[in-house]
Amino acid sequence: MEPFRHHLFVCTQAKPEGATSCPGNRSWQVLQALETELCKQGLDDEVQVSTCGCLGLCDDGPVMIVYPEGVWYRKIREEDIAEIVSSHLRSGKVVSRLVWCDQQEMKSEMIEHRDQYRAMVKAKDQAGILPDELNEMIRGFMPSRAVLTALELDLFSAVGNGRSANEVADKVGSDERATEMLLNALASLKLLEKRDGKFLNTAMSARFLSEGSRDNARPGLMHIAHLWDRWSTLTECVQSGTCVERDEREHSDVRDFIAAMDRNAKERAAAVVKAVGVNGIRRMLDLGGGSGAYSIALAREMPNLNSEILDQAEVVPLTHAYIRKAGLEERVTMRVGDMLRDPLGKNYDLILVSAICHMFSAEENRKLFRRVYDALAPHGRVIVQDFILEGGKTAPRFAALFSLNMLVGTRAGSSYSEPEYTEWLQNAGFSDIRRMRLPGPAGFMIGFRN
Ligand SMILES: C[S@@+](CC[C@H](N)C(=O)[O-])C[C@H]1O[C@@H](n2cnc3c(N)ncnc32)[C@H](O)[C@@H]1O
Ligand code: FES
């Protein structure tokens, strides 16, 4: 007995540009139409839909197999989906005009495809050609740079509901020819559409990259655009062992950085609140609290909680604006200070150290945790949140790459491993040290003062 009445597999195999493939024939759109239609016809709990790799029938895509019958559909269009759902999945009547009937022909095509694929892999290998995935990794900066430039110029807002390249160039004050080249490249990345010589935002760019949208992420993403410059110095940093000296950060850089932190923190705040546990916490210290997103989330959850944010002079006025907007000025206060040197205070029930340790050297972190221990009340807890590496330091990939982000951006920062955090916490006197698994890339650890 199957857990579902039907199990569907839709091919979504990505192929190099120019090769025929199911996604090239809109299999992702077919999948979307299928999910919508199943809901509409009340079958979403009866029918399980999965994506799958190449089925060897690429010229006839999109291809979909329906189990338990083992019916192979080919050349499906979004317009066919309502009929497949109502006729086949609801009433058991296969839509024969879309079914591959000649099994022998189907098998020959699959074998031919398999043999061609094997011959191509062998020929590439013999010729010593770079594998596609390596090529893609090395050229990965190209799409990234195109999108970052578009963000810097606020191009998606300028495109609005549809403008020609000339009109966009006019609006952002850029060169016409070059702007058209960039807009075309963004359309190739499916971040814009081009119709009758006009460019339009896609649903995704309109929602996340354009002014006026509630979810516009551009302010936070501008921080990534600033990181581009830092990452360009990586070779020099690896040679010298530390970041390249830079001029004072501009106010707009700090604002963009805090906006980026705020976005990340808001995404995780609910999970963090749950993991912290709310019992008996009245006084909290949020070290380097940035936008105050975690203090805000925790204060909302715990009506008796007062939180103090300690941050740098250039950040505290920005923090203040976030706290004021949240209406929590009475219970979330802030002060300027250096967490490595200035007094932290005493008798806190909770000290949050979120996205802090990666800025400092191992020795500075060891010292910081000793100071945190002293600032806690008996049985108080420290929460550490950061990109935590496994013992061997080669995984998770994001934490390993983030370590380079700290190399290019700080004097002695790095991502650190779970054994390192454990050692620092133990060394400071903490007990009951635990790692907790929360969704998302950041790691979460907790320790208690005796
Ligand atoms: C990466 S952000 C993390 C913000 C926040 N904790 C979060 O998780 O979203 C680091 C914060 O630490 C602050 N900071 C850096 N060095 C500091 C220091 N020595 N003393 C106090 N704050 C510091 C920065 O200004 C920034 O707000
Ligand atoms: S890409 Fe779908 S069958 Fe080959």
Q: Indicate whether 180 pLDDT > 70.
A: yes
Pairs from 40-44 (Cβ < 8 Å, separation ≥ 24): 41/85, 41/86, 41/89, 41/90, 43/5, 43/85, 43/89, 43/90
| Rounded average pLDDT over 15-23 | 87
**Å from CA of 189 to ligand 2 middle:** 21
User: Do the domains at 6-101 and 251-448 have one common CATH topology?
Assistant: no
**For residue 233, what pLDDT is reported?**
96
* Distance from the first to the final alpha carbon of the chain: 55
Check residues 342 and 220 and name the one with the higher pLDDT. 342
Please report, rounded to a whole number, the percentage of residues in the chain having pLDDT higher than 90: 86
Q: How many angstroms from the chain centroid is the CA of residue 330?
A: 34
| Residue position matching structure tokens 């807002």 | 157
Contact 345, 375 (CB under 8 A): yes
Domain residue limits, the chain: 6-101, 107-137, 141-229, 251-448
Atom of ligand 1 nearest to the CA of 261: 9
Query: What is the pLDDT at residue 132?
Result: 86
Q: Is the pLDDT of residue 369 over 80?
A: yes
pLDDT of residue 278: 64
Q: Which residues contact 443 (CB under 8 A, 6 or more apart)?
A: 385, 386, 387, 388, 399, 418, 435
Confidence of residue 410 (pLDDT cuts 50, 70, 90): very high
pLDDT value at residue 254: 92
Question: Which of 9, 10, 54, 72 most suits a substitution to test ligand 2, by most atoms within 8 Å of the C-beta?
Answer: 54
Cα distance between residue 17 and residue 14, in whole Å: 9
pLDDT tens across 241-255, in order?
999 987 766 777 899
Q: What is this structure's pTM?
A: 0.86
Decide: 36 and 63 in contact? Cβ < 8 Å: no
Residue among 9, 10, 12, 13 whose CB has most ligand 2 atoms within 8 A, to mutate: 13
Which class does domain 141-229 fall in? mainly alpha
Instruction: Answer whether residue 293 shows pLDDT above 90.
Output: yes
Q: Which of 267, 298, 339, 384 to mutate to test the pocket of ligand 1 (most atoms within 8 A of CB)?
A: 339
172/156 Cα distance (integer angstroms): 11
pLDDT at 248: 67
Residue 332, beta-bridge partner list: 307
For residue 341, the ligand 1 atom closest to its alpha carbon is 19
Q: Which of 111-115, 177-181, 277-281 is predicted least confidently?
A: 277-281
CA of 290 from ligand 1 middle (Å) equals 6
More reliable by pLDDT, 102 or 208? 208
pLDDT at 1 over 60: no
6-101 in CATH: which number?
3.40.30.10
Instruction: Look at the domain 251-448 and name its fold.
Output: Rossmann fold (3.40.50)
Q: Write down the pLDDT at residue 237.
A: 97
Atom of ligand 2 at shortest distance to CA of 60? 3
Angle between helices 141-152 and 176-188 (to 10 degrees): 130
Listed range (138-142, 256-260, 304-308) with the worst mean pLDDT: 256-260
